[in-house]
Amino acid sequence: MVTGGYFTKMIEGRSEEVATGVATQSKLGERLLAKRLISASDVHRALQAQAEMGGLLGQVLVQLGLVDESIILETLSEQLALPYLRSHDFSDSRLELPAINLEFLAANRVVPVKYVQGQILFAASIPQDPFLQKALSLVYQKKVHLALAREQDIDRVLADYQQPNVDEEVLLHTHQYASDDEFVEHLKDLASEGPVIKIVNDFFNQALELGASDIHIEPFSDRLIVRYRVDGVIQESLSAPDVSLAPAIISRVKLLANLNIAERRLPQDGRIMLRIKGHELDLRVSSVPTVHGESLVMRLLDRQSIRLGLTDMGFSKHHLQRFQSLLERPHGILLVTGPTGSGKTTTLYAALNSLDCQSTKVLTVEDPVEYQLPGVNQIQVQPQIDLTFANALRSILRQDPDIIMIGEMRDSETAKIAVQSALTGHMVLSTLHTNTAAGAIVRLVDMGVEPYLITSSLNAILSQRLVRCLCPHCRVPVDSLDAQLAQVREMRVTQFKSSGCEQCQGTGYKGRTAIHELLVLDGRLIEAVLAGRDASFIHEVAIEQGMLTLYEDGLRKVAAGVTSLEEVLRVTQDQMMDALI
């Protein structure tokens, strides 16, 4: 909350510098250059973008990702001689003023913050607007002072002012509609109102700030829960919307995703493309009916943060060299396995991205197409028109491909066509849902692929999991470590831990990396597969031939201070128990 400090000085009459100081201060670009926060080429690039898109230079620099928003605001605060209000400077309760004009406040992105001795302090996203202070003074007939604040903080306060009254909220539940069409039209009207739009936009902004991969909107009888999956772990939002707004909020998302808001009994899938603060967001929306209304999950893909290099996939040096050598083979199947959300598809994209797509023909069959790769022909599966994985594969074999990527082997028909493709001289990359690399071989047998075809076509299987990385800002080494876990196959492990800080939102973790096990089908493994041995036996043979398990690869990342022992144990509990026996 804003206290005495700057505002008291303004009340005492020492704020004239605010009006006179702006003209004498150097320009924003010059200040950033002087602080070496940007280069001259960055300024030139931003000015070109500003000429095309319009807007203020600071906004353009943030949208281009050249400077962090907080740095822009701090520099502007110095340039304009105005205070910069952070999130904690705003009161939890809104400031009630007579004759408050919400339309004017929203149009100018300005909100009242403090009222003392007949003078009002307003927070604005563009306080340098020469007409803003004069207009506010005329509207409120008070002496007005301005401060600088983030758009997101201002929008949050505005959303609180624009909350509909209780009668309007109850109306949705109590009013009897003449027909479904009338109810749908009412939902459309509510979904198009300012408060609901602000709430949904806040979901997207918060997800982007947290680096979330998914947004969950779950209605219950007494509340509407909003949760975000960050680094693989779900956390509940601190500020959940009113449950009475749930139908309007869900309808707003469905409208953005081009879904049928009149259909509330069946699951639906859609897609939203957004641009927020210079980030291009691709959201895949899934809606399912529950007893309390529709539950929504939005999976986010931030195209600006995509890194598709094999060196960014968390491979150890040992695994990276072997995996790259497997990609150089002219034919055969390379499988990536793991549970849902373990980064299998991203690893395949990184593999494709490392290949020479200029001198080879690369075709993919996916559901959905997550990333668009240059030089790669990507096919979207359309089951509603019978364009299945199997049917698409039959067609692309006549396209003279060198490399084929199959999003997922879901059935025996797809698996058999993939095997035949590998046997006829194609390199095939695909994913399979199994817990271990050895389990993929048993799964292929269950799909009806003969063992002799597996040994003839399958080159290797990469199994992986995602673990959270320790926050580098608060990571410290730990002296004590369980003796039984500290030594695995004669490898000493030094454990680290993070206590939590502002950078990691108090979780102790920031970002994720992968741990791997790579099973190359050769030697005694071929004999074991032909003999029809089970997954446990194949796994043991692979270890004897030098395969590092997921657990052991995870321990190496613990020793390097990348992740914690708890994270490795969380995703490899079954293998950890086997290693200790």
Q: What is the pLDDT of residue 580?
A: 47
Query: Which H, E and C letters describe 168-232, residue by residue?
Result: HHHHHHHCCCCCHHHHHHHHHHHHCCHHHHHHHHHHHHHHHHHCEEEEEEEECCCCEEEEEEECC
Q: Where in the chain is the domain with CATH 3.30.300.160?
A: 3-8+25-162
Q: Looking at 121-130, 418-427, 509-518, which range is the least confident one?
A: 121-130
**Confidence class for position 570, pLDDT limits 50, 70, 90:** confident
Q: What is the pLDDT of residue 24?
A: 32
Calpha distance 181→172 (Å, rounded): 14
Closest CA to 195 of 152, 233, 163, 156: 163
Fold classification of 306-468+512-547 is Rossmann fold (3.40.50)
Between 438 and 78, name the one with better pLDDT: 438
Q: Looking at 102-116, 222-236, 252-266, which range is the least confident one?
A: 102-116
Q: How far is CA 51 from the centre of its chain?
A: 31
Q: What is the pLDDT of residue 99?
A: 58
Q: What is the pLDDT of residue 187?
A: 65
Q: What is the pLDDT of residue 172?
A: 43
**Position 492 pLDDT exceeds 60:** no
Calpha distance 92→510 (Å, rounded): 28
Fold classification of 3-8+25-162 is GMP Synthetase; Chain A, domain 3 (3.30.300)
Average pLDDT over residues 5-11: 49
Query: Which H, E and C letters describe 35-65, residue by residue?
Result: CCCCCHHHHHHHHHHHHHHCCCHHHHHHHCC
pLDDT digits (tens, 9 = 90+) for 506-552: 888 888 899 999 999 998 999 999 999 999 999 999 999 999 999 88
Q: Where in the chain is the domain with CATH 3.30.450.90?
A: 180-301
**Confidence class for position 109, pLDDT limits 50, 70, 90:** confident
| Cα distances (Å, whole numbers) of residue 425 to 298, 353, 450 | 40, 21, 19
Rounded-to-5 percentages of helix, strand, coil across the chain: 45, 25, 30
Maximum Cα interatomic distance, the chain, rounded to a whole number of Å? 91
**Confidence class for position 97, pLDDT limits 50, 70, 90:** low
**Position 98 pLDDT exceeds 70:** no
**CATH 3.30.450.90, applies to 180-301:** yes
**Confidence class for position 347, pLDDT limits 50, 70, 90:** very high
Between 524 and 340, name the one with better pLDDT: 524
Between 20 and 95, name the one with better pLDDT: 95
Q: What is the pLDDT of residue 143?
A: 83
Calpha distance 76→105 (Å, rounded): 21
Q: Where in the chain is the domain with CATH 3.40.50.300?
A: 306-468+512-547
**Confidence class for position 92, pLDDT limits 50, 70, 90:** low
Average pLDDT over residues 474-493: 59
Q: State the residue for tokens 């409120």.
A: 140
Give the three-state DSSP class for 248: helix
What letters, b where the CB count within 10 A reaches 16 and e where it falls short, cover 184-219? bebbeebbeeebbbbbbbbbbbbbbebbbbbbbbbb
Amino acid type, 537:
F
Q: State the residue for tokens 């110095």.
A: 78
The whole-model pTM stands at: 0.63
Amino acid type, 101:
N
Q: What is the pLDDT of residue 311?
A: 86
Q: What is the pLDDT of residue 511?
A: 87
Both structure tokens of 39? 């280069």
Q: What is the pLDDT of residue 498?
A: 80
Q: Looking at 45-49, 85-89, 248-252, 541-545, which range is the least confident one?
A: 45-49
Q: What is the pLDDT of residue 83?
A: 87
Q: How far is CA 145 from the centre of its chain?
A: 38
Calpha distance 323→317 (Å, rounded): 10
Q: What is the pLDDT of residue 52?
A: 67
Burial tier of 301 (Cβ tally within 10 Å: 0-12, 13-18, 19+): middle
Q: Looking at 27-36, 185-194, 446-455, which range is the least confident one?
A: 185-194
Q: What is the pLDDT of residue 579?
A: 46
Average pLDDT over residues 138-158: 82
Q: Looking at 63-77, 257-271, 308-322, which range is the least confident one?
A: 63-77
Calpha distance 313→19 (Å, rounded): 53
